């Protein structure tokens, strides 16, 4: 048997096999290297070219764009700042306006803080659309990420460490009552707030009284699956009812609405990834802390979170980027005051002068700069395979 393994000689192999034969284990043949580099360089060009093209187009003007393709700045065209000037052509968009707007925001924040004691009139922020959208995007994505990470990692930690046993009957009851409140408020004309409060009160009453008779329960895995499976839900299914809900409480086109919705949209990802990090931690550390009298919150905050720092950071960055790029919810829920960057870019395109490629490119560059910086930072974690654990299932 062992002789058969050593039987074949070089001449038995085809040309292809000889070309790609590694000189030693763990090395690559010259031809193999050549092909690999050719493919990798081709793909790098494919990836980088659109970004390069957007950047150079932002330094062109109408004439240069319309006369035909020019590829290299200073060599075949003279770069101009037309696209960038268009961003600041609005009198509210200069450097002075920028500082002014920061001041106005600080003033408004102060006015909000002291509002229980003294009422101070808020100042209207300047209406530089680009700046406003940029600021909205920053506020919304940062707060939504923070909310999502706090809520999501707490839930993930609890699911990894505490045994839950929600009763099946209670869940069925909740669903029936929720449907009842929806149906009465839409078809029977009951006010939605009344229907909701009545249904909730009835649920707690029944869960306390009837709940004792229900026997079958669900486990942690069911809850985890339920939370993660929310990611399958296409946003378009929920966005119209969410719009109606926010309209009912007067929150359409507000930061809060977008923050809440973005946080929920990314909650499944956070719970899924963080659950895996928490589960892989040794439980002994937490047990000894508990014996020393630490509270659950203390254990979570002081011991568990610092231990999962790489995973936590990677998940935060991922969520931040997803929030920064979100499109569909913003289309429905932000019209003017809370308009985010994607919506502003789209509105810019629909101007009466047709698409102004140089302006558009400048805005896109502004929008992707922070994201590319984050990508390079996130790369450190990706290289470690931080996110692989969850995918392996």
Q: Which of residues 198-257 bind other proteins (CB under 8 A)?
A: 223, 227, 230-242, 244-245
Shortest Cβ 104–other proteins spacing (Å): 27
Cα–Cα distance, 41 to 49 (Å, whole number): 12
Shortest Cβ 155–other proteins spacing (Å): 4
Closer by beta carbon to other proteins, 293 or else 306 = 293
Spatial contact of 363 and 345, defined as CB atoms under 8 Å apart: yes
Out of 164, 204, 225, 301, name the contact with other proteins by CB under 8 A.
164
Closer by beta carbon to other proteins, 139 or else 238 = 238
Shortest Cβ 167–other proteins spacing (Å): 14
From residue 260 to residue 289, what is the string marking binding to other proteins with x (rule CB under 8 A)? xx-xx--x---x-----------x--xx--
Length of the chain: 393
Closer by beta carbon to other proteins, 140 or else 261 = 261
Q: If binding is defined by CB under 8 A, does position 301 make contact with other proteins?
A: no
A 10 A CB-CB count for 314 gives 21
Shortest Cβ 212–other proteins spacing (Å): 18
Shortest Cβ 97–other proteins spacing (Å): 25
Question: Hey, which residues between 339 and 368 contact other proteins (CB under 8 A)?
Answer: 341-342, 345-346, 349, 357, 360-361, 364, 367-368
Out of 30, 37, 96, 301, name the contact with other proteins by CB under 8 A.
37
Out of 3, 11, 46, 121, name the contact with other proteins by CB under 8 A.
46
Closer by beta carbon to other proteins, 140 or else 227 = 227
Shortest Cβ 337–other proteins spacing (Å): 20
Spatial contact of 84 and 95, defined as CB atoms under 8 Å apart: no
With CA atoms as reference, report the closest residue to 353 among 58, 62, 60. Answer: 62
A 10 A CB-CB count for 123 gives 14
The CA R_g of the chain, rounded to the nearest whole Å, is 28
Cα–Cα distance, 319 to 258 (Å, whole number): 14
From residue 132 to residue 151, what is the string marking binding to other proteins with x (rule CB under 8 A)? -------------------x
Out of 295, 309, 310, 337, name the contact with other proteins by CB under 8 A.
295
Shortest Cβ 158–other proteins spacing (Å): 4
Q: If binding is defined by CB under 8 A, does position 328 make contact with other proteins?
A: yes
Binding region for other proteins (CB under 8 A) out of 81-89, 102-110, 176-184, 203-211: 176-184
Strand, helix or coil for residue 321? helix
Q: If binding is defined by CB under 8 A, does position 172 make contact with other proteins?
A: no
Shortest Cβ 216–other proteins spacing (Å): 16
Closer by beta carbon to other proteins, 97 or else 299 = 299
Cα–Cα distance, 60 to 81 (Å, whole number): 7
A 10 A CB-CB count for 132 gives 21
Question: Hey, which residues between 47 and 106 contact other proteins (CB under 8 A)?
Answer: 47-51, 53-54, 57, 65-66, 68-69, 71
- Alpha-carbon distance values, 349 to 161, 291, 306, 352, 358 (Å): 50, 62, 45, 9, 11
With CA atoms as reference, report the closest residue to 259 among 141, 121, 88. Answer: 141
Spatial contact of 296 and 206, defined as CB atoms under 8 Å apart: no
Cα–Cα distance, 321 to 376 (Å, whole number): 12
Paired with 246 in beta bridges are none
Shortest Cβ 91–other proteins spacing (Å): 27
Question: Hey, which residues between 364 and 383 contact other proteins (CB under 8 A)?
Answer: 364, 367-368, 371-372, 374-376, 378-379, 382-383
> Please, is 343 exposed, middle or buried when counting C-beta atoms within 10 Å of its C-beta (0-12, 13-18, 19+)?
buried
Element (H, E) at 57: helix 30-57
Total residues contacting other proteins by CB under 8 A comes to: 116
Spatial contact of 286 and 161, defined as CB atoms under 8 Å apart: yes
């Amino acid at each position: 048997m062992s002789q058969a393994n050593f039987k074949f000689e070089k001449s038995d192999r085809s040309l292809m096999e000889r070309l790609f034969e590694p000189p030693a284990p763990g090395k690559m043949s010259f031809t193999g290297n050549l092909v690999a580099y050719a493919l990798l360089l081709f793909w790098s060009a494919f990836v980088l070219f659109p970004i390069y093209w957007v950047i150079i187009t932002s330094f062109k003007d109408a004439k240069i764009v319309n006369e035909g393709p020019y590829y290299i700045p200073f060599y075949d065209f003279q770069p101009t700042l037309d696209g960038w000037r268009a961003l600041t052509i609005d009198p509210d968009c200069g450097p002075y306006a920028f500082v002014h707007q920061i001041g106005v925001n600080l003033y408004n924040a102060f006015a909000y803080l002291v509002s229980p004691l003294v009422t101070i009139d808020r100042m209207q922020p300047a209406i530089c659309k680009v700046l406003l959208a940029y600021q909205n995007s920053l506020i919304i994505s940062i707060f939504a990420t923070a909310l999502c990470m706090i809520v999501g990692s707490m839930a993930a930690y609890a699911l990894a460490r505490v045994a839950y046993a929600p009763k099946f009957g209670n869940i069925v009851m909740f669903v029936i009552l929720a449907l009842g409140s929806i149906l009465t408020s839409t078809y029977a004309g009951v006010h939605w707030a009344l229907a909701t409060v009545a249904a909730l009160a009835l649920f707690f009453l029944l869960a306390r009284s009837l709940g004792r008779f229900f026997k079958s329960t669900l486990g942690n895995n069911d809850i985890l699956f339920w939370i993660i499976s929310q990611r399958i839900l296409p946003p378009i299914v929920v966005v119209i009812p969410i719009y109606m809900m926010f309209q009912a409480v007067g929150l359409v086109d507000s930061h809060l609405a977008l923050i809440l919705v973005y946080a929920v949209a990314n909650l499944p990802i956070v719970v899924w990834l963080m659950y895996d990090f928490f589960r892989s931690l040794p439980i002994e550390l937490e047990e000894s802390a508990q014996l020393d009298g630490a509270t659950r919150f203390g254990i979570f905050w002081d011991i568990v979170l610092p231990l999962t720092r790489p995973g936590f950071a990677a998940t935060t960055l991922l969520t931040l980027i997803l929030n920064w790029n979100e499109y569909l919810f913003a289309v429905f829920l932000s019209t003017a005051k809370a308009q985010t960057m994607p919506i502003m870019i789209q509105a810019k395109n629909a101007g009466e002068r047709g698409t102004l490629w140089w302006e558009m490119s400048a805005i896109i560059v502004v929008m992707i700069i922070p994201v590319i910086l984050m990508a390079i930072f996130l790369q450190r974690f990706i290289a470690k395979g931080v996110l692989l654990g969850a995918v392996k299932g």
